Amino acid sequence: MGTAEPNGSNRHPDDALHGGPSRTSALLRVFRDPVVVVLTVAGVVDVATGDPAMHGIALVAVAAILIRDGLARASRASPAERPRPVSGRRFRFSPAVLAAGVAYAVLVGWFGRFSWPLTIGVAIPGVLAVAIAWRTDAAGPEPAPLEPMGKAAWLAVFLALAAWEVQALLLQPTITTASWAHPTLSTLMDPILAGHLGRSVTMIVWLALGGYLLELLNR
Amino acid sequence: MSSHAVTVAGFLLIFLAGLALEWRARRPSSRIPTIDALLRRAMYTRSGRVGVIAAWAWLGLHFFAR
C-alpha cells in the first residue's frame, strides 16, 4: 500500500536496509542484516543444545522469510515500486484485551508443560504477533540515532547475560542434560512451570511482554 | 557458597545492572537510551520488528512448547 510515510519522506526505513547504489550491494545487505544473522545462528544453536527442532526451525524460517522479503525489495528497481507494510489494524491494550489475555493464560496454563495443547496455545499468539509485526509499519517519526555509549552500555548487559547463560550451559554434565548445580535460566524456571499457577502467571507475563512490544509499534 | 548460588547470584547481578541502567537512562539529559527507546529504534525496520517479536515468540515456545 503506497501511503505517505509517517516521517513525511518518500523513503521507507526498510529501503535504507535493502535499497542502495547497486543490486549486488543490496543483496549483500540482506544477508548481512544482523536480525537475519542472529535468528539463523540462534536457531542452529537452539537445536544443537537439545531444544525440540521445531523451535530452532521457527527462528530459521523467520530469517528465511526476511531474506526472501529483502531479495524481493532489492529486485524492484526503485523504492517507489516496493510494497509497503499495511498500517491498518494495530494492536492496542484495552481492558477487554487484558481480561482476554488473563483468561487465555489461565486456560492454557491448565495444560501440561510440553503437551500439544499448550504448544498450540503458545503458537497461536506467537504466529499472530509475528504476522502483526510483519504487516504493521512504524507509526511515529524515525527515532533519533542512539548515542554509541548508550548502545554499548545495553549491549554489555545483554552480552553479560548471554555469556552467563552459556557458561552455565557448558558446565552442565552434557549440553542437553540440565544441572541444578549450574542452572541455566530455563532450569531455574522448571520448578515454577511445573504447576498450573506458575504456568499461568508466566504466560500472563509473556503475553504482557508481547503486547508491550506490539504497542511500541504505535508510538 | 555453592555453585548453584553463584550462578543465581550472577543472573541477579546482571538483572540488577539492567535495572540500574534503565534508572540511569530515565534521568534528565541522560546519554543512555531507555529500553523503550532502544526497542523502538530496533523495531523501526520490518526485519527489526519481526526479529524482536520472533525472539519473544521463541521464548514462549522454549518455556512451554514441545
The rounded percent of chain B whose pLDDT value lies above 90 is 92
* Helix (H) / strand (E) containing A65: helix A53-75
Amino acid found at A93: F
Q: How far is A51 from chain B (nearest CA, A)?
A: 7
- Mean pLDDT over A103-119 rounds to 95
For chain A, say whether B16 makes contact (Cβ under 8 Å): no
Q: At what angle do helices A196-216 and B46-64 cross, to 10 degrees?
A: 180
Least confident of A60-64, A75-79, A87-91: A75-79
| pLDDT greater than 60 at residue A208 | yes
CB-based contact B34:B26 (threshold 8 Å): yes
Predicted TM-score (pTM) of the model is 0.85
| pLDDT greater than 50 at residue A10 | no
Q: How far apart are CA A14 and CA B43, in angstroms?
A: 11
Q: Report the pLDDT value the prediction gives residue A30, as an integer from 0 to 100.
A: 80
For chain A, say whether B34 makes contact (Cβ under 8 Å): no
Q: Which residues contact A191 (CB under 8 A, 6 or more apart)?
A: A198
- Summarised one tens digit per residue, pLDDT across range A156-170 is 999 999 999 999 999
| pLDDT greater than 90 at residue B21 | yes
Q: How far apart are CA A18 and CA B41, in angstroms?
A: 17
Q: Report the pLDDT value the prediction gives residue A159, as an integer from 0 to 100.
A: 96
A216·B33 Cβ contact <8 A = no
Residues of chain B with Cβ-Cβ distance to A154 below 8 Å are 21, 32-33, 35, 38
- Mean pLDDT over A75-101 rounds to 73
Cell of B39: 526497542
Q: Which of A147, A183, A143 is nearest to A164 (CA)?
A: A183
A151·B33 Cβ contact <8 A = yes
Residues of chain A with Cβ-Cβ distance to B37 below 8 Å are 143, 146
CB-based contact A78:A23 (threshold 8 Å): no
More confident residue, A15 or B12: B12
Q: How far apart are CA A88 and CA A139, in angstroms?
A: 10
Which pLDDT band, with edges at 50, 70 and 90, does A85 fall under?
Answer: low
Q: How far is A210 from chain B (nearest CA, A)?
A: 7
Q: Report the pLDDT value the prediction gives residue B30, as an integer from 0 to 100.
A: 92
A154·B10 Cβ contact <8 A = no
| pLDDT greater than 50 at residue A1 | no
Q: Which of B53, B57, B61 is nearest to A116 (CA)?
A: B61
Q: Which residues contact A207 (CB under 8 A, 6 or more apart)?
A: A101, A104, A105, A125
Q: Which of A106, A87, A110 is nearest to A98 (CA)?
A: A106
Residues of chain B with Cβ-Cβ distance to A140 below 8 Å are 40
Which pLDDT band, with edges at 50, 70 and 90, does A5 fall under?
Answer: very low
Which pLDDT band, with edges at 50, 70 and 90, does A126 fall under?
Answer: very high
Q: Report the pLDDT value the prediction gives residue A6, as an integer from 0 to 100.
A: 43
Q: Which residue of A has its CA nearest to B36?
A: A216
CB-based contact A46:A59 (threshold 8 Å): yes
Q: Which residues contact B6 (CB under 8 A, 6 or more apart)?
A: none
Which pLDDT band, with edges at 50, 70 and 90, does A84 fall under?
Answer: low
Q: Which of B7, B21, B59 sits opposite A182 (nearest CB)?
A: B7
Q: What is the mean pLDDT of chain A?
A: 85
> A81: which DSSP letter?
G
- Summarised one tens digit per residue, pLDDT across range A177-196 is 889 999 999 999 999 999 99
B14·A161 Cβ contact <8 A = yes
- Mean pLDDT over A122-149 rounds to 89
Q: Report the pLDDT value the prediction gives residue A161, as an integer from 0 to 100.
A: 97
Q: How far is B14 from chain A (nearest CA, A)?
A: 6
Q: Report the pLDDT value the prediction gives residue A11, as an integer from 0 to 100.
A: 53
Q: Report the pLDDT value the prediction gives residue B2, as an integer from 0 to 100.
A: 92
- Summarised one tens digit per residue, pLDDT across range A11-52 is 556 655 554 556 677 778 888 889 999 999 999 988 888 888
| pLDDT greater than 50 at residue A4 | no
Q: How far apart are CA A2 and CA A164, in angstroms?
A: 46
Measured from the Cβ of residue A151, the count of other Cβ atoms closer than 10 Å reads 15
**The dihedral sign for the CA sequence B15, B53, A10, A27:** positive
